[in-house]
Structure 1
Amino acid sequence: MTGHIATVAGVAVDTRHWIGGRRVASAATFTDVSPIDGSVLAEIARGTAVEADAAVAAAKAAFPAWAATSREERARLLHAIADGVEKRLEDLAIVETHDNGALLRSHRRGVMPRVAHNFRFFADWLLDLGHDDFETRGHTNHVSWDPAGPCVLITPWNAPLMLATWKVAPALAAGNTVVLKPAEWSPLTASLLADIAAAAGLPDGVLNVVQGLGAEIGDALTSHNDVRRISFTGSVPTAARIAASAAPALTPLSLELGGKSPLLVFADADLDLAVDLAVEQYDNAGQVCLAATRLLVEESVAEEFTRRFVAKASGIRQGDPRDEATGIGPNIHERQVAKIDGFVQRALASGARAVLGGGPNAELGGLYYRPTLLTDVAQDSEIVQEEVFGPVLTLQTFTNEDEAVALANDTRFGLAATVATGDRERAERVTARLVAGTVWVNCFFVRDLQAPFGGSRQSGVGREGGTWSFDFYCDLKNTVTAPTGWAGRG
């Protein structure tokens, strides 16, 4: 590392904030460590209320001109950013793999192309955004989406750039300015995004990136009176603190939070498909909010399902995420690994049985946790009720449809659910009764940006995606015009 530039596998990353179109240093820094091998990647500018105020001020100053920019020009610039992402796709993939430990092949083939798609989708959706005028007793109603103002976007570490741009793209498309605060465990690609946006010609102050610890900079952002929208993805406790911070100013919130999603496997399902879906829940070392970590399997096929699952999951290669052959990499941080193992060891001490895994990978050391499946777990146990956010699944059985639905809905969460069945009518009955923002039937993780996304219960507040994103990032206005009176005074 030289000065404010960190070199990550040959890619230069500026470690300072991006505020008002220029790089800004802080008096202090925090250390960013790679989960792959524990090596220090960078010393990152550690923002405080000072940098938070500066970023919000820059966003506020840039807002009037950006809000007045035509839809066509905003869309053009979003496409230009997407072009920049595609040109630097390899750099982004390499840096993010080193920063959060997710598979390099996934970043190359799926995640970073999705980052570019986020910008293109919302640019195109903006140009078609509208509502047909309608009449009320001869009066014309016209609905419009007006830019709201500066937005604070707080993003997680498990898919840093993809989830950041899921928020940044619609916020910018809507005509808002943005202050992006990435997670302190994986901040590097947010800094690269600032470079890409600037190179694309985005005006100064329209996108700002501030880094730091949530406890030191977060409240200054979320309590700021000049902020008009806050979008957060993360944990329930942090969301509660953000909501309390935003309450005095009545700042609207969009919260995408945790999950404890079920995978319901009925006896009439294609068991090979069901096993594939279940093993897929280990994706990203289990660090996926949507993951169906509770396997609910009909009793008559549970033994065969478990046998096939263990056989398939045992074949997953764990190791360096930069290796094309690796199927599961490390977890993000030593604190996260300790949390995961704490859940598992307490479950085992309470009578659960590990039919797969059950602890860290002793051969690899570091932050590598073995894919784990626990059986003999009680419905009211911690391991069934609380989000682990690691490669840990539980398996329970049911005897009929009603019991399956009751078990599936018996948590405080409601983010997603997956159903495996060969009976279309059963699928319709069961999905209608499940409490979840997204339900997949005989598939998993198929997401279209035009669909609403969010959670029920403590899995979140609000929906984003397609027009729902613009509904959140805008002030909706209805203008009612009388049919007469245009002649004025005689």
Structure 2
Amino acid sequence: MPEHPAAATVATVAGVPVDTRHWIGGRRVASADTFADHSPIDGTELARIARGTAAEAEAAVAAARTAFPAWASTPPAERARLLHAIADGVEARLADLAAVETADNGALLRSHLRGVMPRVAHNFRFFADRLLELAHPELDTRGHANRVSWDPAGPCVLITPWNAPLMLATWKVAPALAAGNTVVLKPAEWSPLTASLLADIAAEAGLPAGVLNLVQGYGDEVGAPLTAHPDVRRISFTGSVPTARRIAETAGRNLTPVSLELGGKSPMLVFADADLDLAVELAVGQYDNAGQVCLAATRLLVDASVAEEFTARFTGRAAELRQGDPREESTDLGPNIHPRQLERIDGFVRRALAAGARAVIGGGPNPELGGLYYRPTLLAGVAQDSEVVQEEVFGPVLTLQTFDTEKEAVELANGTRFGLAATLVTGDRERADRIADQLVAGTVWVNCFFVRDLRAPFGGSRESGIGREGGDWSFDFYADLRNTVTAPKGWSDRG
């Protein structure tokens, strides 16, 4: 890629000025080269983003290392105050953040305004409050007092995805900062803009220089040197399994703890006693964010006795979905993020159809909209061992399989290498408990979907990830746990 030394350092996106440079040590830093960031809505170039290298990675880690001692020794009440100040800044700029992120990743503006950006602020408020609520249990061992504490670990590298850029970034940034760590954030190159706005908001809130650093660029150019750096004490990554394998191997050389939230191929089990209207509504909801949701229940497993009725109701409800410009209030499905992602999605579908699958609905790009719009698709007649059932598509593509018994339903549900989430729809509470206990999944929803409480653990089983975050589990990861054992005697008279 040619250099762009004259590229503007501030782009105007949806009427909002966005600095396109890195944020390192409390100041903006340019790179010798840039890369283009395009909107998935219409393909227009939004900005040219500073393209980080090993040099920027080194500078960011150095800044985080320098800032760490003072931030680690900052009293918890002051850290919590600053996190609340960042949340205040997010809420003050909620409309700007929503507009920029919609332009950048194509998700619905209404969702950003009403759910996603308020959740960004909540992430900071929750972990600020949780920091002050952390218990420091004292245990007695034959008169000796054991006191457990959470100590800041050091500089953290946080690598975040493009499907919910700011919300998933702050899901990591907030607990890392609350725990007393400094941060180097590397956002996905397909949707980096709101991370830059977050750096501005944090600085305006008074976060000390070097506590939060932002480095933009490609994984092999800047992500790799970040995760290989010996001064990094925690790495949290959300993304693909192949990338996670490389990160884990690199981190292992430095014995750097990692938290990995990876792919999913989650099932939705619909039993004959289910409320079919509820089941259909939950199933159609899996097209949210154009299917670009790691937790999405993309495998619909339906009791054979109600499969025909379920399918008829599903197709009728899906036909009501409006696909189009995500900035419009009436839109239900926007575009997919990038031409490479659209090609990947269509490749899965075309290979499935060639192998004998049947497109109940959809089956290809939307010819009326063109661009990156892919029609919501449901594939039937798919085998359990087929690619489209076993691999994460990450687009608006669901598969439909049937079962006759609970045992078969569980076997189908557990029959992939993933284990991120599962959804059950049944009218029988005992069945729900019985089936939930047999599913391999980090989260199981019963008669609902995407209900998330930050107090609860979140993460995946099998190749869906390593570790759990949320509540005290986040502090367990982002802190070094210490136990101080004190004898009941041995004190001097002056003690």
Distance 1:95 1:121 in 2: 24
- 1:132 to partner: Cα distance: 2.3
Contact 2:270–2:301 (8 Å) recurs in 1: yes
Write the distance in 1 (CA, Å) between the matches of 2:249 and 2:416: 24
**SS across alignment from 2:423:** strand
Q: Are 1:116 and 2:118 counterparts?
A: no
What SS does the aligned partner of 1:433 have?
coil
The aligned counterpart of 1:189 is 194
Q: Is 1:473 aligned with 2:478?
A: yes
Letter of the structure 1 residue corresponding to residue 146 of structure 2: N
Partner residue in 1 for 2:343: 338
Q: What per-residue deviation string (whole Å, max 9, x for no partner) do you get for residues 346-367 of structure 1?
A: 0000000001000000000000
Residue 153 (structure 1) aligned to one of 151, 155, 158: 158
SS of 2:115's partner is: helix
Structure 1 residues 36-435: aligned runs within 5 Å: 36-435=41-440
Aligned partners of 2:81, 2:55: CA distance in 1, in Å? 33
**Displacement of 1:9 after TM fit?**
1.4
**CA RMSD of the aligned region, Å?**
1.0
The amino acid of 1:318's aligned partner reads Q
* The one of 5, 10, 13 aligned to 2:15: 10
- 2:248 aligned counterpart, secondary structure: helix
Provide Cα deviations, 1:400-442, integer angstroms capped at 9, x if missing partner. Answer: 1000000000000000000000000000000000000000000
CA distance in 2 between partners of 1:436 and 1:37 (Å): 37
2:3 matched residue in structure 1: none
Distance in 1 of aligned mates of 2:455 and 2:320: 36
Unaligned runs of 5+ in 2: 1-5
Cα deviation for residue 249 of structure 1 reads: 0.3
Rounded Cα–Cα distance in structure 2 between residues aligned with 1:418 and 1:214: 33
Query: Are the aligned partners of 2:272 and 2:306 in contact in 1 as well (CA < 8 Å)?
Result: yes
2:38 is matched with: 33
Aligned-partner residue type, residue 219 of structure 2: G
Runs of 4+ in 1 over 6 A off after TM superposition: none
Using the size of structure 1 for normalisation, the TM-score is 0.99
Q: 8 Å contact 2:7–2:48 — kept in the other structure? A: no
Q: SS state of the match for residue 111, structure 1?
A: helix
SS at match of 2:402: strand
Partners of 1:190 and 1:218 lie apart in 2 by: 16
Equivalents in 2 of 1:333, 1:312: separation in Å? 27
Other-structure match for 1:439 = 444
Report Cα offsets for 1:368-395 as digits up to 9, x if no partner: 0000000000000000000000000000
Give 1:134 deviation, angstroms.
Answer: 1.1
Structure 1 gaps of 5+ residues are none
CA distance in 1, matches of 2:85, 2:184: 20
Provide the C-alpha distance between the structure 1 equivalents of 2:13 and 2:169, rounded to a whole number of angstroms. Answer: 20
Report the Cα distance in structure 2 between the residues aligned to 1:81 and 1:132, rounded to whole angstroms. 30
Q: State how many pairs are aligned.
A: 490
Distance 1:107 1:94 in 2: 8
CA contact (8 A) 2:457 2:469 kept: yes
Report SS of the residue matched to 1:395: strand
3-state DSSP class of the match of 1:455?
coil
Task: Please list the CA deviations of residues 432-477 of structure 1 after superposition, one character each: whole Å capped at 9, or x if unmatched.
Answer: 0000000000000000000000000000000000000000000000
Alpha-carbon distance in structure 2 between the residues aligned to 1:320 and 1:210 = 30
Q: What is the CA–CA distance in structure 2 between the aligned matches of 1:44 and 1:279, rounded to whole Å? A: 36
| 1:307 counterpart letter in structure 2 | A
C-alpha displacement of 1:131: 3.2
In 2, Cα distance between equivalents of 1:30 and 1:93: 23
Q: Residues 241-271 of structure 1, C-alpha deviation per residue, up to 9 Å, x if partnerless?
A: 1111111101000000000000000000000
